[in-house]
Every structure is written in structure tokens, then in C-alpha cells.
Structure 1
Amino acid sequence: MRVEIWSDIACPWCYIGKARFEQGLAGFEHRDAVEVVHRSFELDPHREPGKVEPVIPLIAAKYGATVTQVARSEERIAEHARAEGLDYRAGGRDHGSTFDMHRLLHLAKEHGAQSRLLELLYRANFADEQSAFGDERLLELAVQAGLEREEAQRVLADRTAYADAVREDEAAAGALGATGVPFFVVDGAVGVSGAQPPEVFRAALDEAWGKKARLTVVGPGGDAGDGSCGPDGCFIV
């Protein structure tokens, strides 16, 4: 059975949702028969490469909110992350294009290192003091995940490498009606939108096991207040 997960490294609910899904999977009787595939979804696909800005002032300007309001929103998201045992820096993080990250994840998939690289990227973006953006930082993380530095460097230098794979993933998400992430599709039969509790993921796995049915979606999509990030962001009012 295959579980496909559309997510973006810039999305805090994707970081949280990954942990919750893994808890649900751990309690699934047939977990050893489950293949997990991570799919690309950029929340900010038109962002200029190399343009990196502090997260909190960026969100404040986007929503017309104060820096204090956004900082409080970030702290509330941090509480959800910490409840799942995840480290989360509510302040001082950067935001930039995640396109190169997604391209590297497709390279990592070919080497069986996709899940490890994704874990490292999430931690770098949400927990580490050092920024997750920039070629040197991405190369460092790629090597930690088990990729050859020279191969990862070639991919980063060629912006067409795996670009089609990223766009195909995003097109597939659109075809499924996913307007926000995280978005989970279990065996092509059951969809789960947002960072739902572990028991929701466990129920979706149970429902999809051995079934071939039309896709049904559990949970609303694209609303940051419901545990997902959409085109308008992840700000909690």
C-alpha cells in the first residue's frame, strides 16, 4: 500500500503533520507493507531564487498584522510542534524559495534517502539556528542524508534538473483538488487534508487497506486554522 504526502518544507503544519502521520502509521497493523512517497508542493512557487527574508516581518506585511501578533501566532504553532516532540524556533527563522529543496528531494528518492533528507530539511528550517537556505547549506544537508556532494552540487547548479518532477507533483496535487498542504493520499483511495491527529491517519490507513475506492477527503484543505498551509500562508489569527 502506498501513501503519498504532498508537503512543503516552508509549511509548519507539514512538519507537524509528518510526525502525527508517523504516529498513526506506527499503530497500523500492516505498517511494514506501507510505502511512503513524498511529493512536492511549493506554497510560494513564484518566489525569486536566492531571496531570503525573516519569516515574522514577512508574514506581518502580508497579512497587515503587527510583528507581535505574528510572533504570538508562531508561538501557538510551536506549541503544537512541541506537543509532538518536535523542536521549533518560533522566532528568527528565514523564508525563501523551496524549489531547490524539492529538486534535491527527487534526487534523494532515487538513492533511497528521500525521507532522511526531508527530515533534515524540516529540522534545519524549523529548529536549527542556522538558516536552511543557500546552496552550501543544502549541500551540507544532502551529504548528511547520504547523497554524494558532487552529484547534489550538479543538481543545484542545473535548475532544470528534476524541475519537471516537481511540477508534475504540483500538477497532480491540483488534479486531486488539494489547495493546501499537508495532503495525504492513502493507496489512491482515501485523502487526509491537514495535520490531523494520529488516530485520523490510523483510521484512513485501516479504511484504505485492501480497498480500491473513489478518493474521499478527511478534513478541510487549505485553511491554516485547520492545521494546513495554503496559498495565503499559515498565520493563525
Structure 2
Amino acid sequence: MRVEIWSDIACPWCYVGKARFEKALAAFPHRDGVEVVHRSFELDPTRAKGDSGPVIPMLMSKYGMSEDQAREGERRLGENAAAEGLEYRTEGRDHGSTFDMHRVLHLAKERGRQDELIGLLYRANFAEERSVFEDDERVVAAAVEAGLDADEVRAVLADPAKYADDVRADEREAAELGATGVPFFVLDRTYGVSGAQPAEVFAQALEQAWGNRSPLTTLADSDGGEACGPDGCAVPQG
């Protein structure tokens, strides 16, 4: 069975949702028969390379939040991440274009190291101080840690056309499947799960999708699980 996950490195709920899904998968009796494929989805596909800045002012400007609201949202996201055993920096993070990272993730897919790389990019973005948006060598370092060749990664980063069509194809397919936000999980093209649902929901989806072949049915939509979309990321409630 194949599980496809549309996500973005800039999406905090994708970071949390990956951990929740992996918890469910680890307990799934047929986990050795599950292939996980990560698909590209940019929350801001118009963002230019090199255009980066701090998260809090971005949240205030783009979504009309006060500074207190933006900081409280980050604090609650940090609590949700911590509940899954994840580190999350609530202060000092930046944001920017993720297009190049998605291109490198397609290289990693070809080399069988995609899951390792996306986990390291999430960690670099949400838990570590050094920016993944301001220095290509930060992306190279994560890719090398994931098992890729540094020169091959640099060659991809230096060629804006390399894997660009693959990224755009993933994004078109997400739209065709009705995904308006991420994370978005598609299990064997049978069931869809939208948002960073609890592990129990992912466990249910795995059980139901195993062996089934039918048109895509959404088990949980974005109203029931936190997600990020064009209008922003859901803020966890206290």
C-alpha cells in the first residue's frame, strides 16, 4: 500500500502531522507493506528565492494578527510539537521560499533518501538556529546527513529547471485531488486524510485503506485536523 503525503517544509502542522502519522504507522500490523512517498506543496509558490524574513512579523502582516496573537500561536504550536517529542523554536525562526528544497527532495526520492531528508529539513527549519532559507549550504548539509552526495545536491540547486516540473506536477495533482491545505495524506488512492490528525485517526485510515480499492474518500477534513493553507496555519486552541 502506498501513502502519499503532500506537505511543505514551511508548514508547522506538516512537521507535527508527520510525527503523528509515523506513530500510527509504527503500530500498524502491515507497516512493512506500506510505502511512504512525500509530494510537493508550496504554501507560498510566488515567494522568490532569497526573500526571507522573521516569522512573527510575517504572521502579523499576512494574517492580520497582533504581535501577542502571533506569539501565542507559536507557543501553542510548540506545545503540540513537544507532545509528539519534537523540538520547536517559538522565537527567532524565519521563513522563505521552499521551492529549491522541494526540488532536492525529488532528487532524494530517486536516491531512496526522501523520508530521511524531509525529516532533517523539518528539524532544521523548526528546531535549529541556522536558517534553511538564507544559505543553500544549509540545505546541502541536511542532504548530506540524509545520505546524498553534496556535489549532486549543489548541481540541482544551481540549475533552477532541475526537478522543477516534478514539483509543479505534484502541486497540480494536489489541486486535482481537492487538497487546499497541508498536510494532506492519500492512502492507496482510496482514502484521504487532511490535516495533522491524531494518531488514532491515521490508524483508522490505515486499517480501512488496507486491501480496499475504491474512489478517494476523505475520512477527515481540515475542519477536524490542523493544517496550513493559503490563508495561514490553524492556531491550536487552549
Q: What TM-score comes out, normalization by structure 1 length?
A: 0.96
The alignment status of 1:146 with 2:144, answered yes or no, reads no
Contact 1:70–1:235 (8 Å) recurs in 2: no
State the partner residue of 1:202. Answer: 203
State the partner residue of 2:170. Answer: 169
Taking a change above 3 Å as real, the CA distance of residues 67 and 76 of structure 1, as seen in their structure-2 partners, is same
Q: How many residues align?
A: 235
The alignment status of 1:136 with 2:137, answered yes or no, reads yes
State the partner residue of 1:120. Answer: 120
User: What amino acid maps onto 1:177 in structure 2?
Assistant: G
SS in structure 1 of the partner of residue 116 of structure 2: helix
SS in structure 2 of the partner of residue 172 of structure 1: helix
User: What amino acid maps onto 1:93 in structure 2?
Assistant: R
Question: Within 5 A, what are the aligned runs for 1:75-94?
Answer: 75-94=75-94
Per the TM alignment, residue 235 of structure 1 is displaced from its structure 2 partner at its CA by 5.0
Contact 2:17–2:183 (8 Å) recurs in 1: yes
Per the TM alignment, residue 218 of structure 1 is displaced from its structure 2 partner at its CA by 2.0
State the partner residue of 1:232. Answer: 231
Distance 1:136 1:74 in 2: 27
Q: CA RMSD in A?
A: 1.2
Contact 2:53–2:94 (8 Å) recurs in 1: yes
SS in structure 2 of the partner of residue 191 of structure 1: strand
Quote the sequence identity (%): 63
Per the TM alignment, residue 158 of structure 1 is displaced from its structure 2 partner at its CA by 0.3
Q: What TM-score comes out, normalization by structure 2 length?
A: 0.96
Distance 2:169 2:234 in 1: 28
Per the TM alignment, residue 113 of structure 1 is displaced from its structure 2 partner at its CA by 0.7
- Structure 1 unaligned residues grouped into runs of 5+: none
Distance 1:182 1:115 in 2: 15
Question: Within 5 A, what are the aligned runs for 1:17-32?
Answer: 17-32=17-32
Superimposed CA distance per residue, residues 145-180 of structure 1 (whole angstroms, 9 cap, x where no aligned partner): 111111100100001000000000000100000000
Contact 1:182–1:193 (8 Å) recurs in 2: yes
State the partner residue of 1:40. Answer: 40
SS in structure 2 of the partner of residue 206 of structure 1: helix
Per the TM alignment, residue 139 of structure 1 is displaced from its structure 2 partner at its CA by 1.1
Structure 1 outlier segments of 4+, above 4 Å: none
Contact 2:3–2:186 (8 Å) recurs in 1: yes
Superimposed CA distance per residue, residues 172-201 of structure 1 (whole angstroms, 9 cap, x where no aligned partner): 100000000000000110100000011111
Distance 1:139 1:129 in 2: 16
- Structure 2 unaligned residues grouped into runs of 5+: none
SS in structure 2 of the partner of residue 100 of structure 1: helix
State the partner residue of 1:191. Answer: 192
